[in-house]
């Protein structure tokens, strides 16, 4: 019994019975999917559908990337996906991108379920917050995928918008190098929506589709990031909404046709396919099996000592431990790469020859200064020396310096309340 039903019971009020579903359970959902009434299924997906692939989410307390990146030299953890901070210092993002880049992770059973819905001609649109492109890898047709926060699939210059070659981008990112535009030498960024950026036009254009939804399935998302989270309220009032998540979120459960399934996404879709029957479960497993060669697995981490493993696993889900290990590995790798980058910059700076003032001929310096002074006075137009922010940046016209990073960070935090992140 969900919380809403429990509240009605305590108040002595009988809740409205579902007007479309026979009951708020998996058998009723399965029966509805098999009926002629259910023709257009819409999906809303988040990081929770990818965690079983080993990809950590961003906001979880223990396994989230933001919590583990806090130890890095960032003004705040989310700065790694902040467009203003990226313009100032793109290195943290690219050290992290080398770890998150597509190719290391296999699609999950849930991704294969999305493809199964597409093959059954039931999937109308899949709205996803994820940037990992695993829907594409699983074989979901690109024309039904709306990547609300963008993805690693394409990239372009943030200055002139010139598209950057895929293979070159992959090579640079995997080496944690910063790609620059061949046309204007501006910074190149994957088409991931950062804090401070607008959403893709595809997302906005697809919102009207929701009015035609016969069923909305929401999987693996906290429904806290807007405007994506607002999509749940844009389907018709009679449209059943199914939440598959480890935690109860938002207002799902408040409508008569809402169903809340508090369980792992992979487990839920398998149970649903079993209930539908007609070979759905077998087809699901075949589609997932076909993804075995779609990725290059990372080397297995060293096993923990028996005593330590026993202590850590007490009362802890295995998948939770795997995620913690993966997040720790990622954060450590990013930290190592950032330190190596700083060490290289320091070494480069130290190699610069600094003259020993004790060996300088004062008379020669005076003669040189006199010649330069005479030459300077003979020039009518004064020469303006370009001002550089740092050793690696391009010149900034004096009088038009960029606002300080601290100021930008404050603005970004304010924008975060109403602006969608990438993610994250």
**pLDDT recorded at residue 177:** 87
Question: Tokens representing 266?
Answer: 């992979």
d(CA 200, CA 150): 7
Tell me the percentage of the chain whose pLDDT exceeds 70: 62
**pLDDT recorded at residue 293:** 85
In this structure, what are the phi and psi dihedrals at residue 180, rounded to the nearest 5 degrees? -125, 145
Position 62 pLDDT exceeds 60: no
d(CA 377, CA 382): 9
CA-wise closest residue to 411 among 27, 84, 102, 89: 84
Q: How confident is the model at residue 92 (pLDDT cuts 50, 70, 90)?
A: confident
Q: How confident is the model at residue 209 (pLDDT cuts 50, 70, 90)?
A: very high
In this structure, what are the phi and psi dihedrals at residue 163, rounded to the nearest 5 degrees? -70, 140
Higher-pLDDT residue of 160, 311: 160
Q: Are 110 and 220 in contact (CB under 8 A)?
A: yes
Per residue in 11-57, pLDDT tens?
Answer: 555 556 668 999 999 999 999 999 999 999 999 999 999 989 988 76
What is the C-alpha R_g of the chain? 27
Tell the residue number behind the tokens 């919590």, with chain if given: 67
Question: Tokens representing 51?
Answer: 């965690």
- Compute the mean pLDDT over every residue in the chain, rounded to the nearest whole number: 76
Per residue in 37-47, pLDDT tens?
Answer: 999 999 999 99
Q: Considering only 38-42, 223-227, 266-270, 288-292, which range has the smallest mean pLDDT?
A: 223-227
Per residue in 70-82, pLDDT tens?
Answer: 656 788 878 888 9
CA-wise closest residue to 158 among 125, 124, 191: 191
**pLDDT recorded at residue 101:** 83
Q: Are 221 and 59 in contact (CB under 8 A)?
A: no
Higher-pLDDT residue of 19, 143: 143
**pLDDT recorded at residue 233:** 96
Position 100 pLDDT exceeds 50: yes
Question: Tokens representing 317?
Answer: 């889900």
Q: What is the mean pLDDT of residues 226-255?
A: 95
Q: What is the mean pLDDT of residues 316-330?
A: 49
> Pairing relation of β-strands 150-157 and 188-192?
antiparallel
Tell me the percentage of the chain whose pLDDT exceeds 90: 50
Q: How confident is the model at residue 129 (pLDDT cuts 50, 70, 90)?
A: very high
d(CA 247, CA 221): 9
Higher-pLDDT residue of 78, 216: 216
The full length of the chain comes to 424
d(CA 107, CA 92): 26
Would you tell me how many other CB atoms lie within 10 Å of the CB of residue 422? Answer: 24
- What DSSP assignment string belongs to 216-272? EEEES----STTGGGGGGSS-TTS-EEEEESS--TTTTSSTTEEEEES-HHHHHHHH
**pLDDT recorded at residue 98:** 81
Per residue in 347-392, pLDDT tens?
Answer: 665 655 444 444 445 444 455 444 444 434 333 333 333 332 333 3
Q: What is the mean pLDDT of residues 88-102?
A: 85
CA dihedral (105, 109, 112, 118) positive or negative:
negative
> Which run of H or of E encompasses 282?
helix 280-289
> Which run of H or of E encompasses 285?
helix 280-289
Would you tell me how many other CB atoms lie within 10 Å of the CB of residue 329? Answer: 16
d(CA 171, CA 181): 15
Quote the DSSP letter at residue 300.
P
**How many CA atoms lie less than 13 Å away from 239 in the CB half-sphere?**
24
Which candidate in 111, 124, 149, 182 is catalytic? Answer: 149
Position 247 pLDDT exceeds 50: yes
CA distances from 35 to 117, 124, 248, 424 (A): 14, 16, 28, 36
Per residue in 149-200, pLDDT tens?
Answer: 999 989 999 999 999 999 999 999 888 789 999 999 999 999 999 988 989 9
Q: Is 149 one of the catalytic residues? A: yes
Query: Which ranges constitute the DSSP H helices of 314-397?
Result: 318-350, 362-377
**pLDDT recorded at residue 395:** 31
> Pairing relation of β-strands 241-245 and 41-45?
unpaired
From first CA to last CA, the distance across the chain in angstroms is 32
């Amino acid at each position: 019994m969900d919380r809403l039903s429990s509240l009605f019971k305590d108040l002595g009020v009988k809740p409205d019975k579902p007007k479309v579903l026979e009951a708020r359970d998996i058998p009723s959902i399965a029966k509805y999917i098999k009926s002629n009434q259910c023709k257009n299924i819409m999906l809303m997906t988040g990081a929770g559908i990818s965690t079983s692939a080993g990809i950590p989410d961003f906001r979880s307390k223990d396994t989230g990337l933001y919590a583990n990146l806090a130890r890095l030299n960032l003004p705040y953890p989310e700065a790694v996906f902040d467009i203003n901070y990226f313009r100032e210092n793109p290195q943290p993002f690219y050290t992290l991108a080398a770890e998150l880049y597509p190719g290391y992770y296999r699609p999950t059973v849930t991704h294969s379920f999305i493809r199964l819905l597409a093959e059954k001609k039931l999937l109308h649109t899949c709205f996803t917050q994820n940037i990992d492109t695993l829907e594409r890898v699983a074989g979901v047709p690109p024309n039904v995928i709306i990547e609300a926060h963008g993805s690693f699939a394409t990239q372009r210059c943030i200055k002139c918008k010139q598209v950057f070659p895929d293979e070159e981008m992959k090579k640079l990112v995997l080496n944690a190098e910063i790609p620059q535009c061949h046309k204007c030498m501006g910074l190149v960024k994957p088409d991931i929506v950062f804090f401070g950026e607008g959403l893709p036009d595809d997302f906005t254009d697809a919102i009207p589709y929701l009015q035609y939804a016969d069923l909305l399935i929401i999987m693996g998302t906290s429904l806290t990031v807007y405007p994506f989270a607002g999509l749940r309220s844009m389907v018709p009032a009679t449209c059943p909404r199914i939440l598959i998540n480890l935690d109860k979120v938002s207002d799902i459960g408040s409508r008569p046709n809402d169903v809340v399934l508090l369980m792992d996404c992979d487990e839920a879709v398998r149970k649903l396919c079993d209930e539908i029957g007609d070979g759905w479960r077998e087809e699901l497993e075949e589609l997932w099996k076909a993804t075995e060669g779609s990725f290059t697995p990372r080397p297995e981490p060293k096993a923990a000592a028996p005593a330590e493993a026993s202590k850590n696993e007490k009362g802890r889900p295995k998948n939770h431990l795997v995620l913690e290990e993966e997040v720790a590995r990622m954060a450590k790798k990013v930290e190592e790469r950032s330190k190596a980058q700083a060490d290289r910059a320091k070494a480069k700076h130290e190699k610069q020859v600094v003259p020993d003032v004790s060996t300088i001929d004062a008379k020669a310096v005076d003669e040189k200064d006199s010649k330069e002074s005479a030459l300077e006075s003979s020039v009518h137009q004064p020469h303006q020396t370009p001002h550089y922010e740092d050793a690696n940046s391009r010149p900034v016209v004096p009088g038009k310096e960029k606002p300080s990073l601290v100021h930008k960070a404050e603005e970004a935090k304010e924008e975060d309340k109403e602006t969608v992140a990438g993610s994250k």
